[in-house]
C-alpha cells in the first residue's frame, strides 16, 4: 500500500456529510447548501442539444489531445477574455482539454513534481483540498500561505523567505479566491512570475471562478493577463486551469481545460495519455 495515502485527510464533503448525519432541516424552510460550490441555475439548453445531436460519438474513442475545433475554441476564448494578442495561443501547443479541473490539478502535480528533490507545493490557506492531496501523493510537502483579512484575504507573498521559494516546485494560486473571492492584482502576478524565473518553479493558476463577477466592464484579470503585460509570449512557467462547471452551470459535464507554457503542457499530455480521461 502507498504510505502516502495515510497522509490524506478525508475529503471535506465526506466530513461534512458525517457532521450533518441525523440533522433534520426545518421542513418549512428551504436549506441553503454552503458546502460545494454548485450552480443553482439550469444548464444552457444549447449544450443539451449539442450533446443529443452528437450521441453517435459515444461509439468512438476520444483522443487525449481533443478535437481541433475544441482546442481552437479554447484558444479563441482565452485570447478574447484575457486580452492575449492573436497568434500567441497555439491551439495545438498551448491548450489541453481536461475532464474538469479537479482531475487536472491532481494530475498536473504528479507531472511537475520531481520526487528526488526536497520539494514544496505552495498554496493559499484556506485551499482546495486537491492541492494538498496532490502534493502528498507526488512526494512533495505542502506549504500553506494564510489568507488573512489584513492582506485582503490574499497570501502575503512578500513574507515568504528565499529558502522556501528555492524549494518550491509548484505555486498554486486561486483567483478569484475560494472561498473569499479575493482577487490577486496583475502587479502581484507579475512579481510572482519573476520569482518563478528566479527560483525555477511553475505557477498553476486555478481560475475556475474567473467568470463570477459583478462589474461587466471590469472582469477579473488572470495569469495570462500578466503574461501579456510582460510580453511573455511563451507563457513560460505559467499554466492556467479553467472549468465550465461554475461559469456555465455544467458541473456534471466535467469539462475544462489548461492553457499556457507549451513545453510543460507537452509533458502533461504525455502523462495524461497514461492517466486521465480524454474528451
Instruction: Show the domain range for 139.
Output: 95-213+221-279
Residue 28: CA atoms inside 13 Å, Cβ hemisphere, count?
A: 0
Distance from C-alpha of 33 to C-alpha of 168, rounded to nearest angstrom: 36
Q: Is the dihedral of CA 230, 68, 93, 131 positive or negative?
A: positive
Contact 114, 168 (CB under 8 A): no
HSE-CB at 105 with a 13 A cutoff on CA atoms is 28
Give the count of beta carbons closer than 10 Å to the beta carbon of residue 248: 16
Integer Cα distance of 128 and 120 in angstroms: 16
What DSSP line would sit under 98-139, residue for residue? ES-HHHHHHHHHHHH--TTS--EEEEEES--HHHHHHHHHTT
Domain contains 8: no
Residues 210-226 have pLDDT tens digits of: 999 999 999 999 999 99
Beta-bridged to residue 2, according to DSSP, are none
Q: Cell 500553506 sits at which residue?
A: 144
DSSP class of 149? G
| pLDDT at residue 279 in the model | 62
Residues recorded for the chain: 279
- CA dist., res. 14 & res. 71, Å (int): 35
Query: Contact at 8 Å (CB) between 206 and 241?
Result: yes
Pick from 252, 253, 259, 260: nearest CA to 279 = 253
State the CB neighbour count (10 A cutoff) for residue 142.
18
In whole angstroms, what separates CA 74 from the centre of its chain? Answer: 15
CA 132 to chain centre: 13
Backbone angles phi, psi at 145, to 5 degrees: -110, 110
CB 169 within 8 A of CB 114: yes
Answer yes or no: is 90 within a domain: no
- Stretches where the chain sits below pLDDT 50 are none
Residue 79 lies in a domain: no
* Residue 249 pLDDT: 84
Please report the pLDDT score of residue 278 as a whole number: 65
pLDDT value at residue 13: 78
* Domain contains 136: yes
DSSP annotation string for 245-263: HHHTT-TTT--EEEEE-HH
Q: How many domains does the chain divide into?
A: 1
Q: Is 219 exposed, middle or buried (0-12, 13-18, 19+ CB in 10 A)?
A: middle
CATH number at residue 175: 3.40.640.10
On whether residue 30 sits in a domain, the answer given is no
| Max CA pair span of the chain | 58
Report yes or no on 24 lying in a domain: no
15 assigned to some structural domain: no
The verdict on residue 238 lying in a domain is yes
Tell me how far apart the alpha carbons of residues 155 and 153 are, in angstroms, rounded to a whole number.
Answer: 7
Residue 174's nearest CA partner among 125, 244, 226 is 125
Amino acid at each position: 500500500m502507498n504510505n502516502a495515502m495515510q497522509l490524506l485527510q478525508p475529503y471535506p464533503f465526506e466530513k461534512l456529510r458525517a457532521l450533518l448525519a441525523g440533522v433534520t432541516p426545518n421542513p418549512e424552510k428551504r436549506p441553503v447548501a454552503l458546502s460545494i460550490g454548485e450552480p443553482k441555475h439550469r444548464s444552457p439548453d444549447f449544450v443539451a442539444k449539442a450533446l443529443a445531436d452528437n450521441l453517435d460519438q459515444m461509439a468512438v474513442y476520444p483522443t487525449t489531445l481533443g478535437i481541433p475545433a475544441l482546442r481552437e475554441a479554447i484558444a479563441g476564448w482565452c485570447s478574447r477574455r484575457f486580452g492575449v494578442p492573436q497568434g500567441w495561443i497555439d491551439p495545438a501547443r498551448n491548450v489541453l482539454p481536461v475532464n474538469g479541473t479537479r482531475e487536472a490539478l491532481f494530475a498536473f502535480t504528479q507531472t511537475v513534481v520531481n520526487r528526488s528533490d526536497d520539494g514544496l507545493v505552495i498554496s493559499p490557506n484556506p485551499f482546495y483540498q486537491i492541492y494538498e492531496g496532490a502534493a502528498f501523493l507526488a512526494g512533495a510537502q505542502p506549504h500553506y500561505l494564510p489568507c488573512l483579512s489584513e492582506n485582503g484575504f490574499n497570501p502575503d507573498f512578500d513574507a515568504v523567505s528565499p529558502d522556501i521559494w528555492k524549494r518550491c516546485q509548484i505555486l498554486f494560486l486561486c483567483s478569484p479566491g475560494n472561498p473569499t473571492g479575493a482577487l490577486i492584482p496583475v502587479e502581484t502576478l507579475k512579481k510572482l512570475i519573476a520569482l518563478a524565473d528566479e527560483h525555477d518553479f511553475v505557477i498553476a493558476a486555478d481560475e475556475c471562478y474567473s467568470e463570477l463577477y459583478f462589474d461587466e466592464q471590469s472582469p477579473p484579470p488572470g495569469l495570462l493577463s500578466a503574461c501579456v503585460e510582460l510580453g511573455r509570449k511563451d507563457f513560460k512557467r505559467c499554466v492556467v486551469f479553467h472549468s465550465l462547471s461554475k461559469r456555465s452551470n455544467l458541473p456534471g459535464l466535467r469539462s475544462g481545460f489548461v492553457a499556457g507554457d507549451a513545453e510543460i503542457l507537452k509533458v502533461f499530455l504525455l502523462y495524461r495519455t497514461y492517466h486521465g480521461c480524454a474528451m
